[in-house]
Amino acid sequence: MSAIELRNVTVNIGSKQVLRGIDLQVEKGEFMTFLGPSGCGKTTLLRTIAGLQQADGGTIVLSGREVANGETAYHLDSSKRGLNLVFQSYALWPHMTVFDNVAFGLRIRRQSKSEIRQKVMAALDKVRISELETRYPGELSGGQQQRVAIARAIVTEPELLLLDEPLSNLDARLRVEMRAELKRLHRELGATIIYVTHDQQEALTLSSRIAVFFEGKIVQVDRPQALYRRPATLRIADFFGSGGMEMNHVDGRILFAGDGSLYLSSPVCSFALEGRLNALPDKGMAVTMTIKPEHIRLQRHFVPGAIACEVDTVFPAGSETTVTVLAGGRLLTVRLLGDADYDRGDTAYLLLREEHLNLYHGDTGELLDGVRPASLSVTNHASNPISYDQNHLLAEVPTR
């Protein structure tokens, strides 16, 4: 029995369809993250699961119990769903002390005084702020307020804990610290957690699975590693490539060699392809090749297979250095560990880690699943056996 089962959930707000048929299954104890740009409907889905928003279509089943049904307009009160929510703004009641804030739900449930005291202290202990019980929210720092909000949500021992962008109001250092805390809490509580964020790194760090949202639809659900390695569409790849993790794009073309084998040809490099090639159309097609900056090696000296390039700009950032280089007329971003001793105009050589190279359909933007470079075939364009006509390419590949 899944913790959450969503079937074709739709939600309209005003005349706008915010969620357009969501299907999702979340297992017990999972840390599921809803990830997407702002306005993609992830928070709306969270609120619909919480019962703060009515579903207009589809069904929501929590631990085997139907809590919302759009077809019969059935809607179970959020207080009866066995879940709790941590709000983005924390929503701490400013006129109550930390203790009263956390005790609120227990008092509603009319538990005994000693029981309330013991549970509240246990919850405050779990988030490590038991010494703050008599303070008012206004007297706390952002991180402490965040902990109170979490304590308030876990004190009633919900089976399902919903977190709505809980770290977005914290500064960078606190955010990293709270990530670790959340991970620990998930381990200790054993509850199912749904976590909403627009921060890719947060999602990759915390989740056991990630659901990516675009425009009211889930476009991919996968484990973080899988999402990182093989985004299902170019758009997802780009979304993961934003926020300090730029993604390199190179437009190219699949060509047939005389011997019947297939090659990818691009201004930067060319290589033979292997894998599920029969799924590809007969004629040459436009593709986009992506590779992350951290999957390119940059070195001063040529080795076989390396691509010559010219250093454009160097961005040192202490622990890592980002270098942009020009190869085959294209600007590529390379990320190096530590500091790097390059200057603008230097000649250097690139090595692409081909296992991290993804190919996307030039028109639909979908991943060409199972098509990969034949091992060790990536070569410098200069030594490419297939002649490459750049003008011809520009004429036929639609610019993105």
Partner 1 sequence: MSDKPIITLSQTKPRRIKQWNRLYGWLRSPVHVIGLVGLLFLAYTIIWPVINILLTTFVWKTQDMRITAETNPGHFTLYHWQRVLASDMSLSLFYKPVLHAGAVAFVVSILSMLLGCGLAWLVTRTDLPFKKAIAFLAVIPYLLPSWVIAQAWLTFFKNDKIGGTPGIWQSLTHMQTPDTLAYGFVPIVISLSIHDSVYFFLLVGAALSSMNTQLEEAASMNGAGRWTIIRQIVFPLMLPAILSGFILTFTRAISSYGVPAILGTPVDFYMISTMLYSSMRARLTTEAHVLSLMLMLISMLMIYWNSQVVGRQRSFVTITGKDNPRTLQSLGRWRKPTALLTIGSMILVSVVPLLILLVQTFMLREGVYSWDNLTLHYWIGGSISDINSGEKGVLQNPIFLLALRNSLLIAAFSAVLAALLGLLLGYAVARGRQTWIGRTVDQVSFLPYLMPGISLSAIYITMFARPHWIIPALYGTVWLIILITVVKELPFTVKAGGAAVMQVGGELEEAAQMNGASWWTRFKRIVLPLNRKSLLSAFLIVFIGAMKETELIIMLVTPRTETLTTLTFAYVEKGYTQLTNVVLMIMISIVILVYALATRYGKADLTTGIGGQ
Binding site for partner 1 (CB under 8 A): 1, 5, 14, 50, 52, 54, 59, 61, 64-66, 69, 71-75, 77-79, 83-85, 87-89, 91-95, 104-105, 108-109, 152-153, 156
- Shortest Å distance, C-beta 345 to partner 1: 42
CA distances from 184 to 6, 127, 156, 174, 199 (A): 27, 10, 18, 15, 19
- Shortest Å distance, C-beta 69 to partner 1: 6
- Shortest Å distance, C-beta 49 to partner 1: 12
* 320-327: strand order across its sheet: 296-299, 347-352, 307-316, 320-327, 330-337
Q: What share of the chain is helix, strand, coil (3-state, %, to 5)?
A: 30, 35, 35
- Shortest Å distance, C-beta 395 to partner 1: 50
- Shortest Å distance, C-beta 2 to partner 1: 9
Tokens for 266, please give them: 């691009």
The residue among 95 and 113 lying less far from partner 1, judged by its C-beta, is 95
**Residue length, the chain?**
400
The residue among 109 and 223 lying less far from partner 1, judged by its C-beta, is 109
Question: Which string of DSSP letters, residue by residue, matches 278-347?
Answer: GGS-SS-EEEEEEE-GGGEEEESS--TT-EEEEEEEEEE-SSEEEEEEEETTEEEEEEEES-----TT-E
CA angle 140–141–146, rounded 5-degree value? 90
Q: Tell me, rounded to whole angstroms, the distance of Cα 273 from its chain centroid.
A: 29
- Shortest Å distance, C-beta 192 to partner 1: 16
Q: Taking a C-beta distance cutoff of 8 angstroms, is the pair 161, 32 a contact?
A: no
- Shortest Å distance, C-beta 86 to partner 1: 9
